[in-house]
Chains A and B, each alone.
Chain A
């Protein structure tokens, strides 16, 4: 069939590239190697943050010949990502399958009751942590997070509208966390399918604020349409290059220093099916370490103001376990847990 033919075309091109690498580059590290193309699952739709990152990695791996076999990227977004996670859960022992996660690794099973858990998967590595920033329209009078929260406090209940990506997912969790300090006043949270739609809601002045990821809102910030109030991280961003005429990512205060004690970051990590060997996990950890060293990756991290924390092994598993607990607590408090 033509579709397969086209796949083959892509594949053979990638294979050719791989073969050249094998011939020219010094031998790959010892140990396990994939023996067929690796399926890279994205539990989210095309065009979103996870999708961009996965396809970017696919591009880096093929450009720098980091693997003898190509990645085949597949979107399995159904049921807020449940489709993708269930696929990996059902592929026990398959070393040719990896999945990139966002917070839906925790939120989807908790909110929908879909039967999966990160313990059904093998943690490979944390690639980065995605940041969240509190944004308002540049025309709005609020210059700091403190002023904005005070306005919410002083306004009517549900007067202030917050647009966000998805329902009972990271954006809404942050919104609920903010409501702890707004003196009982709630936001009207309006869920949208993607970060782009959320940004346009704010630029079009249809809502009061968003907690978009940096990469989702940076273009509008540079164009002077949006204003960042604070970043939901423990410390300021490390990127000091000017993004706008006057500001760099590092100039955005943390929410805590603005008197808004809320912290949240989203995992961009890699998992494999359960039942794989140590060698197989080690191969992918090594692969992603090489990806991280490329100049393209470093630029990508800076453009999206990512927190570049890297973890693997037990350290990573412990982090995931703690994150799951945090999400459980936050969602329980917000009443987002699925009824059993």
Chain B
């Protein structure tokens, strides 16, 4: 096949000692960036973009430059999981869902397993996504174009529907948490009317409540407050660091291939349209739990709860580059910065890139394969090291985490006011857990709320206010119908169970 020949020539372009060195540097930098909450892949790539300026003018330098930057991106995708698992602080928005089961695993002394699962899943997700890019790029690009705003809203709706009812909290507490999330998401700038709302005249609120700041507070600070209450020590401190953990965990992961496959599929699909890695990870987690035989195990340290969001996030992060290359439309903020980079280097992303810059494109795709292999090796060898961080006494690590949270919150948009918000959200997070309110619906509403609202209102503008636009063609119709089905799935499944005359109604997913 033509693609394979092109890919092999791509490997020829990439496999030089200099490029491999850049790959290593990029991955390590990326992991560091991913670990720091708030800094994020987009900022990390943006900071280093000017440095690639001279690099890109060497012969073959454009490929080297994109290798460096894309490897930072891969590294950030890997790194985001580390603090989520160890400290319950998501380094990146798409790592939030990883905390749900990853952190409980760490508390049970299984941090090494959780990390291995996360990294391996990331790798699998990315690998499947790169294969999709290699063989189906033109097809996928056309698919991306068929997505209009109603489809976008339908996808957000589906994410919601797949996540509703995932936790065991009473429905009214879930609704309360979700409503609070929506309210917080609506503060700040309303992009459809171009005016400010719910800022109450405070200029500090023009940014609204940034998702990362809220998450750092709710999860990170909230977790520290709870740990302090429980006796100033991390549980799981006495976990033995087992060097064989990686191999053993792999043995277990093989059994969860279907979860990984589903996560990758969701990720590939969501990455192609802006929407991207964060909703993909939530949707994948929600669906994995919903269709598990033992949904009650989720949230307590279930390894599939790590596999699902990580495969989806990494697959989405990878396919997000495809619309950038083929259409010149970034699928994620990081892709947007890379797009800027391409323009600065004198390349023009878009439909002609695959024809005019064959070496560059296939070099990049080859570097996706290699970069992820290199990344996996690097992070896996560091698993014992990362897990050992939990052995540091709480009195030393807690202030360090606080500083990490503060820097992360500040960096989210360089505002001191964010620090106050983090403290506020920390208290909310603590109180929520104490009163047994679920945090996940709040976070989900906060991250998807304004995007979903925007897509909904854009669709309403197009249809002059008619809801029928959400069933106006087969694509949006199918997604919406799936969403509605999932939303009422608990009731439907109960009805099916009753119809079959079963008495084990309690086993039905709730």
- Interface, chain A (partner B; CB < 8 A): 1-3, 6-7, 10, 13, 45-48, 51-52, 55-56, 58-60, 62-63, 73-80, 82-83, 86, 111-115, 158, 161, 166-169, 172, 188-194, 196-197, 199-201, 203-204, 206, 215, 218-220, 222-223, 225, 299-300, 303, 336, 338
Contact B407 A1 (CB under 8 A): yes
Contact B340 A2 (CB under 8 A): no
Contact A86 B203 (CB under 8 A): yes
Contact A47 B330 (CB under 8 A): yes
CA distance A80 to B196 in the complex (A): 9
Q: Which of B44-52, B162-170, B230-238, B439-447 contacts A (4 or more CB under 8 A)?
A: B44-52
Contact A78 B340 (CB under 8 A): no
Contact A83 B207 (CB under 8 A): yes
Whether A62 touches B50, Cβ cut-off 8 Å, given contacts A111-B194, A166-B191, A203-B145, is yes
Contact B458 A190 (CB under 8 A): yes
- B53 contacts chain A at the CB level, 8 A cutoff: yes
Pick from A3, A168, A197, A218 the residue with the most CB of B within 10 Å: A3
- B348 contacts chain A at the CB level, 8 A cutoff: yes
Contact B462 A188 (CB under 8 A): yes
Contacts A167-B190, A189-B461, A203-B327 known; 4 new A-B pairs at CB < 8 A: A79-B207, A112-B189, A188-B462, A219-B348
CB < 8 Å neighbour of A167 from B50, B188, B191 = B191
Q: Which residue from chain B places its CB closest to the CB of A224 in the assembled complex?
A: B351
Q: Which residue from chain A places its CB closest to the CB of B196 in the assembled complex?
A: A112
Name the 4 nearest CB pairs between A and B, nearest first: A219-B350, A47-B336, A79-B206, A167-B194
CB proximity to A under 8 Å, residues B316-350: 323, 327-330, 333, 335-337, 339-340, 343-344, 346, 348-350
CA distance A167 to B189 in the complex (A): 11
CA distance A218 to B352 in the complex (A): 11
Contact B343 A52 (CB under 8 A): yes
Contact B147 A299 (CB under 8 A): no
Q: Which residue from chain A places its CB closest to the CB of B39 in the assembled complex?
A: A3
CA distance A77 to B33 in the complex (A): 21
CB < 8 Å neighbour of B206 from A13, A83, A336 = A83
B-side contacts of A3, CB under 8 Å: 32-33, 36, 39, 407, 411
Q: Can you name 30 A-B pairs with beta carbons within 8 Å?
A: A3-B407, A6-B32, A47-B339, A51-B46, A52-B343, A59-B49, A63-B54, A73-B47, A79-B199, A79-B206, A82-B196, A86-B203, A86-B206, A111-B195, A112-B194, A114-B203, A167-B195, A191-B458, A196-B339, A200-B145, A200-B327, A204-B145, A219-B327, A219-B328, A219-B350, A219-B352, A222-B350, A225-B351, A303-B343, A336-B194
Contact B351 A220 (CB under 8 A): yes
B-side contacts of A78, CB under 8 Å: 188-189, 206-208, 413
- B415 contacts chain A at the CB level, 8 A cutoff: yes
CA distance A58 to B454 in the complex (A): 33
When each residue 31-42 of chain B gets 1 if its CB lies under 8 Å from chain A and 0 otherwise, what string results? 011011001001
A-side contacts of B194, CB under 8 Å: 80, 111-112, 166-169, 172, 191, 336
A-side contacts of B35, CB under 8 Å: 2
CB < 8 Å neighbour of B51 from A13, A169, A203, A206 = A13
CA distance A196 to B330 in the complex (A): 7
A-side contacts of B351, CB under 8 Å: 219-220, 222-223, 225
Contact A51 B340 (CB under 8 A): yes
- B295 contacts chain A at the CB level, 8 A cutoff: no
B interface SS class: helix
Pick from A7, A78, A300 the residue with the most CB of B within 10 Å: A78
CA distance A179 to B329 in the complex (A): 29
Cβ of A289 to closest chain B Cβ, rounded Å: 20
CA distance A194 to B337 in the complex (A): 13
CA distance A188 to B457 in the complex (A): 13
Cβ of B476 to closest chain A Cβ, rounded Å: 12
CB < 8 Å neighbour of A204 from B33, B43, B147, B206 = B147
B-side contacts of A169, CB under 8 Å: 194
When each residue 122-153 of chain B gets 1 if its CB lies under 8 Å from chain A and 0 otherwise, what string results? 00000000000000000000001111110000
Contact A10 B51 (CB under 8 A): yes
Cβ of A29 to closest chain B Cβ, rounded Å: 23
Cβ of B346 to closest chain A Cβ, rounded Å: 7
Contact A47 B340 (CB under 8 A): yes
Cβ of B466 to closest chain A Cβ, rounded Å: 13
CA distance A169 to B203 in the complex (A): 20
B-side contacts of A51, CB under 8 Å: 46, 337, 340
Contact B328 A199 (CB under 8 A): yes
CB < 8 Å neighbour of A197 from B274, B340, B404 = B274
B-side contacts of A63, CB under 8 Å: 53-54
CA distance A77 to B210 in the complex (A): 12
A-side contacts of B149, CB under 8 Å: 190, 206
Q: Which residue from chain A places its CB closest to the CB of B408 in the assembled complex?
A: A3
- B193 contacts chain A at the CB level, 8 A cutoff: yes
Q: Which residue from chain A places its CB closest to the CB of B31 in the assembled complex?
A: A2
Contact A167 B192 (CB under 8 A): yes
Whether A46 touches B189, Cβ cut-off 8 Å, given contacts A10-B51, A204-B148, is no
- B8 contacts chain A at the CB level, 8 A cutoff: no
B-side contacts of A1, CB under 8 Å: 36, 403-404, 407
B-side contacts of A299, CB under 8 Å: 346
CA distance A328 to B332 in the complex (A): 34
Contact A2 B53 (CB under 8 A): no
B-side contacts of A114, CB under 8 Å: 196, 203, 206
Pick from B33, B208, B462 the residue with the most CB of A within 10 Å: B462
A-side contacts of B206, CB under 8 Å: 78-79, 82-83, 86, 114
Cβ of B44 to closest chain A Cβ, rounded Å: 8
Whether A79 touches B196, Cβ cut-off 8 Å, given contacts A114-B203, A203-B327, A222-B348, is yes
Pick from A169, A196, A203, A206 the residue with the most CB of B within 10 Å: A196
B-side contacts of A111, CB under 8 Å: 194-195
B-side contacts of A6, CB under 8 Å: 29, 32-33, 47
CA distance A266 to B29 in the complex (A): 37
- B493 contacts chain A at the CB level, 8 A cutoff: no
CB proximity to A under 8 Å, residues B13-63: 29, 32-33, 35-36, 39, 42-43, 46-51, 53-54
B-side contacts of A197, CB under 8 Å: 274, 329
Cβ of A166 to closest chain B Cβ, rounded Å: 6
Contact A52 B344 (CB under 8 A): yes
Cβ of A9 to closest chain B Cβ, rounded Å: 9
CB < 8 Å neighbour of B415 from A82, A83, A215 = A83
